[in-house]
Amino acid sequence: MTTFTNDPTMPTPSFPGSHMVIDDHYVFISGLTVADLSNGHAARGNIKEETRLVMRALLRMLEMEGGSFADVVRVDIHLTDLHAIQDMDGVYAEYFEPGRYPARTCTESPHICGGSNVEITVMAKRQHQSAQ
C-alpha cells in the first residue's frame, strides 16, 4: 500500500506534492531546502549550514518511518553553484558510514525554490515491519 504524507513539523507543501511517499519497500522524500524549514532562513547563503539543517531534517523524516541514513540508497542534490560541492560534501559525508555512500547525482541548478543554495532528495529502503 502506498501512503502519501506530509511532515507535521513543516508547512504543507505549496506545490502539488507530498513530503514523503511510502510504499512497502521504499521511503521517497521530496527535495528539501532550508526554505522548507522554520529554522532555515538564517542559514541561507552558508552552504555548510544549509546542508547540515537539510540533512538533520531528512534524518528526522527517515526516523519517523523507523529508518536512518544507513537505509538510503539514492540521493539527488542540486546546488546553485557547483563550486560549493566540496563544502557541501564535507557536511554530507558526516551522515554516512565511510565507504557506504548511496548512489548520487549532484547538479548545478541556479534557481532553487525559496532562494536556498542546496536541495536534497532521498530514496531509502524501508525497514520491514514485523507481522502482527
Contact (CB, 8 A) for 119 and 32: yes
Output the pLDDT for position 37. 81
Residues of the chain with pLDDT under 50: 130-132
Output the pLDDT for position 21. 94
Q: Over the stretch 85-99, which tens digit does the pLDDT of each residue have?
A: 999 999 999 999 999
Q: In whole angstroms, what separates CA 97 from the centre of its chain?
A: 17
Radius of gyration of the chain (CA): 14
The C-alpha angle 67, 73, 77, rounded to 5 degrees, equals 105
Domain ranges of the chain: 3-125
Contact (CB, 8 A) for 1 and 21: no
DSSP lists the bridge partners of residue 123 as: 28, 74
CATH topology of domain 3-125: 60s Ribosomal Protein L30; Chain: A; (3.30.1330)
